[in-house]
A and B are shown apart, each in its own frame.
Chain A
Amino acid sequence: MYHKEKSIQIKNSASALYNNLSVLRIAPRRLTHFTVVHANMVNMVSASWDGLNYTHRQLQSKEPNVATSTSLIMQAAFCVLPSRDLLVLTSQKGIQMYESDGSIMVYWHALDTPETPTGKHTAFRYNCFTRVSSGAFLVFDVPSKGSNITLSEVLEEHKESITDMASECSGSQECIANLVTADDDGNLCVWKSGEEFQLLNKIPGFDMSCSSVKLWKGTVVAGYGTGQIRLYEAVTGILHAEINAHARWIYSVDVAPFSGLLLSAAEDSLVRVWHMTINPDTNSVEVAHLHNECVTDTQICGAKFCDGDGYAFAVTGYDLSEIIRYIQS
């Protein structure tokens, strides 16, 4: 179903962090940006679609009053907003936002509390969210141009630190739930965005960390430390499917929104591709297994589809200095 393509070499190896790969496809310029976190820096590589050009850039965490920061970066992720894309970095000392090619830093928010942030961000409409380890997440208002970014809300609902968050913005469909946040106890919170964010539902965990979460057609797709993947209906919390997917901690789940393909990757060296479909009779989601890829002797820490159909996906692993790519045969 998929075969391995030429890997992209990166300057440093990937650190063992959840969701440690972010991908941004820039169709008008026929290139794709990839970011991978290594300790206190982010390796960014922009690959042209013809496979001929690779440009590398490294970004470091920022700290007040220090020239070179050693504070560790927790996550780097692209936020896709209606009129612009941003690259958001969260480190132990603060949150940095860059233009999507990493060229200019447009915003910096220092975290004044000494607690360690476990920043993950996703984008929806005009806001960009970042979570901090107290269980709160920050909502930023981002204008369509420039650096006048402001902190608009701080939402505190989770008791444990938030591990991941996901949003969905399907333009034509009437979406009730826009955002889901997951925490270290496996609890999931479902939100509706608006003037103020509204909590729609809380799906309890079973004291097992949820390390990665996605939202697709009103379904929450959650990957857990036990190696299970669960599909819940976001608004009602009804469990539609439970998969004993991996033999070790899941580090990343991703969804290709146009095709319903689901990608999961774990410490067990395996990447698996699944297919989600909505059953028209019951209007609930079903899932089937399609494909396995084994990255020998590697604990995978990031896996993402490179396009909305799931035609290609990329993988990173702990101690690996390359981004491995797979393409549909």
Chain B
Amino acid sequence: MSSRTLPLLFINLGGEMLYILDQRLRAQNIPADKAKKVMNDIITTMFNKKFLEELFKPQELYSKKALRTVFDRLAHASIMRLNQASMDKLYDLMTMAFKYQVLLCPRPKDLLLVSFNHMDAIKDFVKDTPSILSQVDETYRQLIEMYTPLSSGEFQLIRQTLLIFFQDMHIRVSIFLKDKVQNSNGRFVLPTSGPVPHGTQVPGLIRIFSCTGEEITRLKFNNGGNYAAALREGSYDIFGDRVTKLGTNMYSISRPVETHMSGTSKNSAQHTKVSAAPNPLAKEELNLLARLMGGLEVQKPGNADTGFRINLFATDEEEEEALISRPDELSYGVINIQATKDQQANAELAKIMGEFTESGDQSPTACSKGDDLLAMMDGL
């Protein structure tokens, strides 16, 4: 499968996370300056140079567990806190939204346009902060450099790799159910109408040619749908009209974010058994995590003056209830470093932390920074 999938997965999931957090920050009436700080901190961490370097290397997709841990860290990159139930719900919404976008992409190359829609929105979040803005612009350039030369076949392979990652996920999302883009069984609606993708003709025509290349017959057939001609192509530049709405922010104050846990059909909970054998990818995943730590400024956790908690549910009671009633098969198995029995993984992480304190480009307080980071990891 494609080794160029991870950057797109990360950026699009990150974008969805920011949409949801932005909506919740407003809904909970968090003061504007605090809300802005949270958004800025998360975006700064997301686009940290070293982190992106690691991300853009050709590699296999991370395991679901590892990716969830990365996003856990990202969500906690600032003064905001989330309980387990809210974090679970946040991740459900992010993943189902991106799965929807990947499935509905008219052609595989449009996946890049979806990514640009997310990038455009992120750029808008930080438009007042030049330092972060330049990081975002740099990422646009990296995306364009890496993805615009790819053929349609290579994009399809990326898309197929993503679809394997999202296989069997059928969590019902209230906003999708309301808009009738998702059925009550959790499957997305695939319309047999609307514009065809750019480069495709409306189905319905058979042309027969003679041996000399002249068209001898034209036959029409019923295509069983209600298709229209393709729309114009979206822009693949840093600026431009992307044309597609996939990847734009679908949330607003009036559209609450809820998910349904109960009634998820049995079939949808088929996850591949997690192998008990040591994961050979663990080192790479830890590398990325470590890079993410490295880009993080030490925040004093739980400071009563500045810290606050975000709830993805309407009330605290609902949040507690959701945690208790979450079906086992839908748990993400987030890596809890403190509790892990995998001595090797723990040792690896400690070693990487150690590397940070020894390398030249650390500040004079490197040792304490390493300790602080490790302490924060333990609290995950």
Interface residues of A (CB under 8 A from B): 12-13, 15-17, 38-40, 66-68, 70, 72, 92, 116, 160-161, 163, 184-185, 207-209, 211, 225-228, 238-249, 268-270, 282, 284, 286-289, 292, 294, 296-299, 318-319, 321
Contact = CB atoms under 8 A, between A and B. Distances in A.
Nearest to A70: B275
Contacts of A15: 160, 163-164, 167
Contact of A246 (B103, B106, B203): B203
A283 to B, nearest CB: 9
Contacts of A226: 199-201
B253 interface: no
Contacts of B277: 66-68
B153 A247 contact: no
A244 B209 contact: no
Q: Classify chain B: how many residues form its interface, as a range.
A: 35 or more
A294 B167 contact: no
B272 A40 contact: yes
Contacts of B209: 238-242
**Which secondary structure characterizes the binding site on chain B?**
loop
Interface of B: 1-3, 103, 106-108, 151-154, 156, 159-160, 163-164, 167-168, 170, 183, 187-190, 192, 196-197, 199-211, 213, 217, 219, 221-225, 227, 267, 270, 272, 275, 277, 280
Contact of A39 (B3, B164, B275): B164
Nearest to A298: B190
Given A15-B163, A209-B156, A294-B192, A247 B107 contact: no
Contacts of A269: 190, 192
A287 to B, nearest CB: 6
**Most A CB atoms within 10 A — which of B152, B170, B210?**
B152
Nearest to B220: A289
Contacts of B151: 160, 184-185, 207, 209
A211 B211 CA distance: 26
B203 A244 contact: yes
A244 B153 contact: no
A300 to B, nearest CB: 10
A225 B275 contact: no
B100 to A, nearest CB: 12
A294 B168 contact: no
Contacts of B152: 207-209, 225
Contacts of B190: 268-269, 296-299
Contact of A13 (B103, B197, B270): B270
A287 B203 contact: no
**Which secondary structure characterizes the binding site on chain A?**
loop
A243 B223 CA distance: 12
A227 to B, nearest CB: 5
Given A160-B151, A270-B192, A241 B107 contact: no
B201 A160 contact: no
Nearest to A295: B190
Contacts of B159: 16
**Most B CB atoms within 10 A — which of A39, A248, A299, A318?**
A248
A268 B196 CA distance: 10
**Most B CB atoms within 10 A — which of A242, A247, A294, A318?**
A247
A185 B270 CA distance: 36
Contacts of B106: 248
A225 B153 contact: yes
B201 A227 contact: yes
Contact of B202 (A160, A211, A243, A244): A244
Contact of B267 (A92, A209, A268, A321): A321
B66 to A, nearest CB: 13
Contact of A297 (B156, B183, B221): B183
B275 to A, nearest CB: 5
Given A17-B160, A66-B277, A287 B267 contact: no
B187 A247 contact: no
The 7 nearest A-B residue pairs measured at CB: A184-B153, A289-B221, A209-B153, A244-B201, A16-B163, A292-B224, A244-B205
A184 B208 contact: no
8 contacts: A13-B167, A15-B167, A68-B275, A116-B1, A207-B151, A241-B206, A248-B200, A296-B190
Contact of A319 (B1, B168, B192, B201): B168
Contacts of A227: 196, 200-201, 203
Contacts of B199: 208, 226
A101 B221 CA distance: 40
Contacts of A160: 151, 153
Contacts of B211: 238, 282, 284
A92 B1 contact: yes
A240 B212 CA distance: 10
B1 A243 contact: no
B203 A247 contact: yes
A156 to B, nearest CB: 18
Contacts of A286: 208, 217
A268 B192 CA distance: 7
B183 to A, nearest CB: 7
Given A225-B152, A289-B221, A72 B1 contact: yes
Contacts of B167: 13, 15, 38-39, 318-319
Contacts of B221: 289
A185 B221 CA distance: 28
Contact of A247 (B3, B192, B280): B192
Given A244-B206, A248-B107, A321-B267, 15 more contacts: A12-B270, A13-B168, A13-B270, A39-B167, A116-B2, A225-B152, A226-B199, A240-B209, A243-B205, A244-B205, A248-B197, A249-B108, A286-B208, A299-B103, A321-B270
